[in-house]
Amino acid sequence: MIGLMKICKITGIIALLAAIALLSKFNYIDPEAYEEGKSDSPDTGAYSLEDEVKKENQSANSNQKEDSNENDNLHIPESNTKEQSNEEIKLNAISAVLMDAANGRLLYKKNAFKELPMASTTKIMTCIIALENAELSDIVTVSSYAARMPDVQLNIRTGEQYYLKDLLYSLMLASHNDVAVAIAEHVGGSVEGFATMMNDKARMLGCNNTNFVTPNGLDAAGHYTTARDLAVIAAYAIQNKKFLEITNTSSYKFCELINRRSFTVSNKNKFLYMMEGAIGVKTGFTGSAGYCFVGAVKRTDRTLISVVLGCGWPPNKSLKWKDTVKLMNYGIDNYKLRQIFEYTDLAPVPVEKGVKKYVNLSIDGDLKLLMRDDETVSVKYEVSDILKAPVQANAIAGYANYYIDRELYARLPIYTAEEVLKLNLPFCIKKVTDYLLMDF
């Protein structure tokens, strides 16, 4: 009797394996459902796998979608050129921005993307290119072209030699135009070659509305930037310790290397003494650009970058300081540091033809930023409806889109929390065999 039962079970195993082999060619068999004695295999003539998976996905993600329905109509701006209304402060500058240096978010903007000449604020890029592509101990030989540059000058002479370090202090403290050309020729081989390096760096930083022609910022056709781009460049530059050391020095002495002519240069940036935590950056003026200034303030919980372009013409030299202080005070008084990242339990995503029916999701992040009290944060989750096996662990399955006042601020990736292998015949055989041999 026992022998007959074994024969029957073995016969059943063979029949089931044959059925598995046949079904695996056409459709998906859920091993978990099979193990429970139930088959989820659809009737291919009336109910497709795609329909089943979509139904499962709608059910699995119902809670998640309920949480995000109110954000479904959020609009992602096509560009960042839309100007924000800032009635809190009135400025003299044609163009201005206040930027959170930690993330590049604009806290205030006025004609932020208007292309304008920027005068000697150009030298921010000149200095950082030199610091990154040459040694401070390099010896720079002055060309006749560099020596002919107009005011403001150090009055360097053809054939003289200087340490690059000394010229960088002259460049940033006293804004000498002849020194800027000498540096450019040394580092870039020519003014044109150096301008290419400057523009390449601008593109790398995402400053696509900027074009450099000269290293000193003298008026030239095609030499322009925007307040936003200039703030990005400054935010990058102040991360360089040597850049900060140079631009925060009050005065500096050095000598020419051949004839030992001595020089003392003094910092023209009065803003360094106007506000607590002021750390830069650069003044500028030409007839076309007007008075310009890029400022920076570092506090315990924030670093702010300000830019004012076209901020008056002679004799209104002090307007750039007034506008800069207004911008900085606006950022300090109206913005607080907030953590906006939300931890949330995400619904698992169905997996097609996987050894598991669903894959779990995970998300992590750190989104600290400066915000006003009247600004609101909303989150919209975009998650794949279905994933096809095999699914790798830590694969991107979607994104959490963070909006501030309906404007997209950040996209955080949502990852799969585990690996899901593809369903195959050996797996099915093992599952069925394990089940049928339980009584042997």
382-426 per-position pLDDT tens digit? 999 999 999 999 999 999 999 999 999 999 999 999 999 998 777
pLDDT at 424: 79
pLDDT: which is higher, 45 or 91? 91
Reported as half-sphere exposure (CB side, CA atoms, 13 A), residue 439 has a value of 7
Q: Assess whether 120 and 204 both reside in one domain.
A: yes
- Distance, CA of 158 to CA of 145 (rounded, Å): 8
State the Cα–Cα distance between residues 174 and 21, nearest whole angstrom. Answer: 83
Q: Is residue 199 assigned to a domain?
A: yes
pLDDT of residue 43: 37
172 & 42 share domain: no
What is the tally of structural domains in the chain? 2
104: left (phi over 0), alpha (psi -120 to 50) or beta: left
Distance CA 286, CA 401 (A): 43
- Token pair listed for 28: 């998906």
Residue 11, in any domain of the structure: no
126, 163, 187 from 134: Cα distances, Å = 12, 11, 6
Instruction: Check whether residue 310 and residue 363 sit in a common domain.
Output: no
The average confidence (pLDDT) of the chain is: 85
Q: Which of 123, 165, 201, 431 is catalytic?
A: 123
Q: What is the mean pLDDT of residues 216-227?
A: 98
Contact 271, 324 (CB under 8 A): yes
* Residue 418 included in any domain: yes
DSSP state of 214: -
End-to-end CA distance of the chain: 14
Respond yes or no: is residue 41 known to be catalytic. no
| 108 and 193 housed in the same domain | yes
Check 41, 95, 120, 143 and give the catalytic one: 120
The answer to whether residue 432 is domain-embedded is: no
Active site residue 68: no
Range of the domain at 152: 95-334
Considering the domain architecture, whether residues 100 and 188 belong to the same structural domain is answered as yes
Give yes or no: residues 170 and 284 share one domain. yes
Regarding whether 117 and 236 lie in a shared domain, the answer is yes
Q: Is 24 a residue of the active site? A: no
Q: Does a structural domain hold residue 41?
A: yes
The last residue of a domain, from among 282, 305, 334: 334
- Domain shared by 217 and 365, yes or no: no
Task: Assign residue 235 the CATH number of its domain.
Answer: 3.40.710.10
Q: Do 156 and 43 have their domain in common?
A: no
pTM (2 d.p.): 0.77
Are residues 379 and 301 part of one domain?
no
Contact 167, 182 (CB under 8 A): yes
Q: Are residues 247 and 396 in the same domain?
A: no
List 175, 201, 282, 357, catalytic entry? 175
Handedness of CA 412, 298, 171, 309 (dihedral sign): positive
Domain identity same for 324 and 371: no
CATH number where 31 lies: 2.60.410.10
pLDDT over threshold 50, residue 325: yes
With respect to residue 320, please indicate whether it lies within any of the assigned structural domains: yes
Q: Give the C-alpha separation, 102 to 81, whole Å.
A: 21
- Listed in sequence order, the DSSP H helices in 286-373 are 319-334
Q: Is residue 396 part of a domain?
A: yes
